[in-house]
Amino acid sequence: MEALAVHLALHGAAVLTISIFGGLLLYKAILKKKHEAGWHLLHAGGTARGIMLIALAAIIELPVLPDWLLSVAVWLTIFFVWTSVFAMIIVAATGERGFGWFGSNANKLAYGLYASGTVAVFPAFLLLIYGLLIAL
């Protein structure tokens, strides 16, 4: 279980680093008045996701689940975070929105990343909630 906490914290720190860099690019975009919304999303959304992973690292021993189910929940959560962060990078760099399977390849890729991460996060958090309820 300690290894899962380390993975969560490590991925959280990496995502926070990317979001901090996104903040620098947001500053540049504000000065140039170009694609500010995408960089703002990466900066804020990446920060929230990184903090979420670090917070989960602190409590990951609390859910009462078999080790394999806890691992599934952790890795699905990490998958969700990275797919959404990569989608946000694409959105920020291209100005696309990633809201549907249409338009440019960048838009389709961002949408696919968002969609696959969304599919993964729900079972992950349902497992965590179930494990926490059992822990009560």
Is the pTM higher than 0.85? The answer reads yes
Mind listing the pLDDT tens digit for each residue in 65-122?
Answer: 999 999 999 999 999 999 999 999 999 999 999 999 999 999 999 999 999 999 999 9
Q: Report the number of distinct structural domains present in the chain.
A: 1
- Which residue, 14, 130, 23, is CA-closest to 70? 130
- Which residue, 125, 28, 30, is CA-closest to 70? 125
Across the chain, which distance is largest between two alpha carbons, in Å? Answer: 53
Distance of CA 46 to the CA centre of its chain: 7
14 contacts 81 by C-beta, under 8 angstroms: no
Q: Higher pLDDT residue, 35 or 83?
A: 83
Residues 6+ apart with CB under 8 A from 113: 83, 84, 86, 87, 90, 98
Q: How far apart are CA 39 and CA 36, in angstroms?
A: 5
Domain boundaries, position 90: 2-135
